[in-house]
Amino acid sequence: MFNKSNTRIIFINGSVVILRQLEGTAAKCRIFIDGIEKGHLIETSGSFAPEDDIAIEPEVLSRINDLAKRPNAD
């Protein structure tokens, strides 16, 4: 999902979701929703999951994972 850039901007139900890959790790990214940092997502087995039980709407997480699984998600 981060092959071409370390940042992804996604529009989901009127919200702006920004994913920024952390330096030094390909499997962890920081998530911002409408400009508010929500925490980190960890990629395992091709899917992203919240770290430390952060509260992310299931619809947002589902959309992120749908996009990550697409063959042209880079």
At 40-56, the pLDDT tens digits run 999 888 889 998 878 88
Alpha helices in 3-74 (DSSP H): 58-69
Is residue 31 over pLDDT 90?
A: yes
* 45 exposure class (CB count in 10 Å sphere: 0-12, 13-18, 19+): exposed
Q: Which of 42, 26, 36, 35 lies closest to 64 in space, CA to CA? A: 42
* Domain 7-69 grouped into CATH 2.40.50: no
Phi-psi region of 73 (alpha: psi -120 to 50; beta: other; left: phi over 0): alpha
Q: Which amino acid is at 25?
A: T
Q: What percent of the chain has pLDDT over 90?
A: 54
